[in-house]
Structure 1
Amino acid sequence: MNRYPWPKPRGRAGEMTGLGVYRPRRVVENAEIAARFGIDDEWIVSRTGVRRRRHAAADETLVHMGSEAARAALAQAGLAASEVDFLLLATMTNTRQVPALAPLVARRIGADHAGASDLQAACAGFVYGLAHASGLIAAGSATHVLVVATERLTDITDPLDRDTAVILADGAGAAVVSACEEPGFSPVVWGADGAAEESFVLVPAPPERNPTGSQQFVRMHGRDLARRFGPLMPEVARKVMTAAQMTWEDLDALVPHQANLRFIREWRLALELPDRVALATSITEDGNTSAASIPLALDSLMAAKAVRPGDRALLLGFGVGITWAGLVARLP
């Protein structure tokens, strides 16, 4: 069997050479949130799969968390920050919006001469970033690209909204994508549907319900998102495998965005994945961290030795807007 059966891209190929994450210090157990709504731990677990999550402190800013994840990814790749040609930063929680965060992270880690820009594809942002990084390398515009996903969803979460407060959390992840001989990524399958824009929106935060000082809170229509993504993501996964010229027997792991444990388990059944394929379910410990959820989930799989360097993982990102993107990646 050809271990990397997907087509070689035009121009140079890219692969993931380093992965790093940052989890905030504070662990928030279900009991702390459940008491606020008069529910219990089992209510949250049965509906979301979340048992605990991380909430960032004031000093754990988007830039701080992203920078720490980036340093860890560079260390695994054996690169100095000065060798980075471009830094792509995915986030949906930069409430200041201007300036972009990517140049601030680049400066913080010492990648002062790298190009830098933000990317907003919500929870699909990390996979979008990997695909864009591969494109920069294929075009000859970069040799090393740093993809950073950093999120503080607690900044835009209404603490009295049960639908979002029980599941949304904070964290960051990063990956180094470097030029290589053998392609480390399959072709990407992605898309968008602006018709669903009202399913997850920001609304003005009522002063009486705003202890964090946020100007806006998320309002999520979970049923509408479930109706849209439920049947869509298995279809996208199959298209990725076709583009990669692979069968499920060739795959080592499925790493979807960690939106809801029930969805993840249903997709595994719908796809009829072999038992040997590792399934990422880090939502139980990390909650839903939007763009950061896939690198955090990958880190959890690696820490548990469920996957090894060189294994192939199907990364499946999907987010509000709505956006989606999937590809198979060779793991560092």
Structure 2
Amino acid sequence: MLSILKILTMLQEKNSLSSTKYSKKDVRSFLVFFEAYLEDSLQNLDGPTVDLARHVVLSGGKRIRPLLCFHCGAQNPNVTNDLLKASTILELVHVATLVHDDMIDQALLRRNSKTIHSFAGDHTAVLLGDALFSYALELATDFPTNRICRIVSKATRLTCSGEIRQNSSRGDASLSLEDYYKFIQDKTGELFKASCQLGALLSGHSEKDIDLVGEFGISLGICYQIYDDLLDTFGRKDKTEKSLGSDFDSGKLTLPLILLLQDVDASNRDIISESINKSVCVDTKLVISKLFDSHFVIPKCLDEFNKHFSNIKLIANSVSDPVLSDNLTGFLSFFSSKITLLNTLNTSNFLALHE
């Protein structure tokens, strides 16, 4: 295991982050250093918390939030250490939310590994999530400006608020599309926003561009949550690394169900409403699956996704710093490569997920 001092020495020798548009080599180098920095940071936790944190934090993942931070800050090679620390903070907050989410949804798998609550119990899962949140904020206080800590704290608060509001609305068939977008802006978009803003802030970008990359992060987070919700409803178990189907089973209304409820007649709306968060027979699930198909719910959801994705591109092009703008556009190419499972969506998968 590399020490943080060794990592920083290697970074100084390698000077892998250029002051011009990043390359794929830069991204790979950053991820290598980030993983080492993240692993080393976990050693500062206490007792058995270390092993539990290692299990969930080092089990893989797309590292989208650290990569957002990197893409918004890689223009300044002198802040590499700060980017690594900020990225670690962001990932710790994200993983803390996953630990709690998995417990709430009673999910058994995450990234093809057992979830914390499934082998250590709900009590430990709650405390581990709390410990990761606390440690992230502790690391944020290391920066000379308290603005970093304020951004992270606000994003963490809004992420939790979004989750609370969504959980309190379980089983509510009257949930509006506006409500849904507010949920996902808070629960996913705010941490994406913080990721972008930390990178831009640490690299000395203008306040206007810091605000713009924040908007970029919000819109990207909305797109990503739509993608995640579509996978949970219409994805294939053999193509993912986590449990699927928990949204419907737990009464959580996401985009597919909201759009369907808005489109069906009163009798079918009653059927759907009565089945949310309840154990229903196969015949009822078949009816709902056919309704998803006949009302073109997947294409409608993809239209919503594409609408927000187009907005992300516009924001990236609005950034005044040309290198930052190019890097944001480059990130969208990376992001597109990570959401290829959109091509596997099928309404028939809804039945398979709820057998």
- Could you tell me the TM-score, scaled by structure 1's length? 0.31
Higher Cα radius of gyration? 2
Higher relative CO (Cα under 8 Å, sequence separation at least 6) belongs to 1
More helix by share: 2
- Could you tell me the TM-score, scaled by structure 2's length? 0.29
More strand by share: 1
